[in-house]
Amino acid sequence: MKPSEQTMPGDNNRISNFFIFQAWLVLLLASFFGASLAGIQLTLSPKIEANKLNETLEKVPELIFGAEAAQSFAEENRQMDIERQYIKAGNKIYSVFQAKTDDQTSGWVVKSSGQGYADKIELLVGVDAKAETISGLFILDQKETPGLGNKIMEQAWRNQFNNKSTQQPMTAVKTKASAPNEINAITGATISSKAVCGIVNQSLNNLRQPLAKALLNDQNPSDNQPNNHQEKK
């Protein structure tokens, strides 16, 4: 609207001059598009959530038994029950997957996340039943530098975490890793490497005890009856 028009009496009050009425098409389209997007979100979000959960569940056997054992496990067609739990530890709520084979807990997979070099890194850590050693690591989501930081997704690098003790925090070192809990940092991506170690350390530090306790609670019924094991034999 030109300034000269604004000063004209009467003209100013004409309903069609208000921006809100001039914008009728914008408002109409916005509500129409908004409604259709809501519909799409409602239809697709279960599928998207399922995709994320599927990826997690798919990785659970590998994270607990290692890639090769998981493969033969799948070939033998053995059943693994995966139970999802939420454990609150260290003012964070962790999504934890308890993997059971033949009614025995074979391990846990913890979903955790933290700040990486570029964006949030989301990862899965597999630990044994007593939460004493790491059995696997998988990166669910990351936006690290392609060619450098995104090497944290590579199996060779992730495998370094296997069989590490959960008692000592992991450290990423630039020189050749010598101490038991040292990880070789990726060349050119020290921050990404350290970030992954940090996320793993923090979540294990928080969850080591709750997981061990959860295992005891699970076993308690049988522990109270020592004869149970002999009867099975």
DSSP H stretches of helix in 138-189? 155-158
Nearest approach, Cβ of residue 50 and another protein (Å):
9
- Examine residue 38 and tell whether it contacts another protein (CB under 8 A): no
Distances (CA, A) of 137 to 29, 113, 144, 196: 47, 12, 17, 10
Neighbours of 220 (CB within 10 A): 9
CA distance 137 to 182: 15
Q: Which stretch binds another protein (CB under 8 A): 42-50, 64-72, 176-184, 203-211?
A: 42-50
| Comparison of 34 and 180: residue with beta carbon closer to another protein | 34
- Examine residue 223 and tell whether it contacts another protein (CB under 8 A): no
What's the longest Cα–Cα distance across the chain? Answer: 100
147-150 contact pairs (CB < 8 A, 24+): 148/186, 148/188, 148/189, 148/192, 149/116, 149/117, 149/118, 149/186, 149/189, 149/191, 149/192, 150/192
Please select the residue that binds another protein; options are 143, 174, 213, 229, rule is CB under 8 A: 143
- Examine residue 29 and tell whether it contacts another protein (CB under 8 A): yes
- Examine residue 58 and tell whether it contacts another protein (CB under 8 A): no
Nearest approach, Cβ of residue 53 and another protein (Å):
11
Structure-token pair, residue 153: 């997704």
CA distance 73 to 67: 10
- Examine residue 21 and tell whether it contacts another protein (CB under 8 A): no
Residues 145-174 that bind another protein (CB under 8 A): 145-148
Size of the site for another protein (CB under 8 A): 24
| Comparison of 150 and 160: residue with beta carbon closer to another protein | 150
- Examine residue 53 and tell whether it contacts another protein (CB under 8 A): no
Please select the residue that binds another protein; options are 6, 12, 17, 51, rule is CB under 8 A: 51
* Cα distance from N-terminal residue to C-terminal residue, the chain: 91
**Footprint of another protein on this chain (CB under 8 A)?**
22-23, 25-26, 29-30, 33, 36-37, 40-41, 44-45, 47-48, 51-52, 55, 141, 143, 145-148
